[in-house]
Structure 1
């Protein structure tokens, strides 16, 4: 019966050895996986730092561009204000020209009536002169 105990101890020892062997293999595989994960995390960290630097640079450029656009917009506002003032000036000038034109037109209408009357009187005078001459010729 003693031999059964030795066989049992041998089986337990072999089973323990196999367990330790496979446990070592698993731990080595786990170590390799952890090394790969560590390397991947380091690479990812480097990429994130690069992206962060590029994002910061892009943000600075965007802010500079926004400032430049603001300055240009402010200078354009003064141009548009000047154009608006020029438009008001032209509108005032057009109003003045229209008033002068209306005044000249009214004066011309009044004078044209006077000219028409003068022409009528001239025609009457010419007609009288012509009759006078005819009478004078017939009397002679």
Structure 2
């Protein structure tokens, strides 16, 4: 029986040795796995830092763009207000031009006679001026043609077209 005791002690020692071997190989495998996990975590941390930096830059750019858009919207509001004021000014100017146009198209009867006389005098003065200019041109051309031996053709189109007369005032009934 003693042999059985030694055999069982040897089997137990062999079992403990095998358990120790398996534990050591398992620990070595676990250590290699832990090293890989540590490297993966370090790599992921580096990548996350890069992503975080890019996200921060993107956030800063977004903030700058937002501020720029707000400034431009403020400027656009100013332009819009100016356009509204311009519209009011345009309406006022149109009314002024309409009023002036009505005053010119329907003058006071007391001024109409004076305007017709002034128009007649202006027409006569223009006619005299252009006649004198035509005569001077003829003399200049005659002296030029006499020295060159050419004939004076004379132009009659130097007078301006007659001025349009104002219509007679209509009497209101």
Fold equivalence (TM over 0.5): yes
Shift of 1:134: 5.5
**Correspondence list, 1:1-140, <5 A:** 32=1, 34-132=2-100
Which runs of 5 or more residues in structure 2 are unaligned? 108-168
Deviation at 1:131, TM superposition (A): 4.3
> Displacement, 1:77?
1.1
Q: Per residue, is there more helix in 1 or in 2?
A: 1
Give unmatched runs, 5+ long, in structure 1.
1-31
After superposition, the C-alpha distances for 1:63-122 in whole angstroms (9 at most, x for unaligned) are 101111111111111101101111110111011101211110111111111111101111
Following TM superposition, by how much is the alpha carbon of 1:126 offset from its aligned partner in structure 2, in angstroms?
2.5
Structure with the greater relative contact order (CA < 8 A, sep ≥ 6): 1 or 2?
2
Normalising by the residue count of structure 1, what TM-score does the alignment of the two structures yield?
0.68
Number of residue equivalences: 108
Distance 1:56 1:42 in 2: 21
For normalisation by structure 2, the TM-score amounts to: 0.56
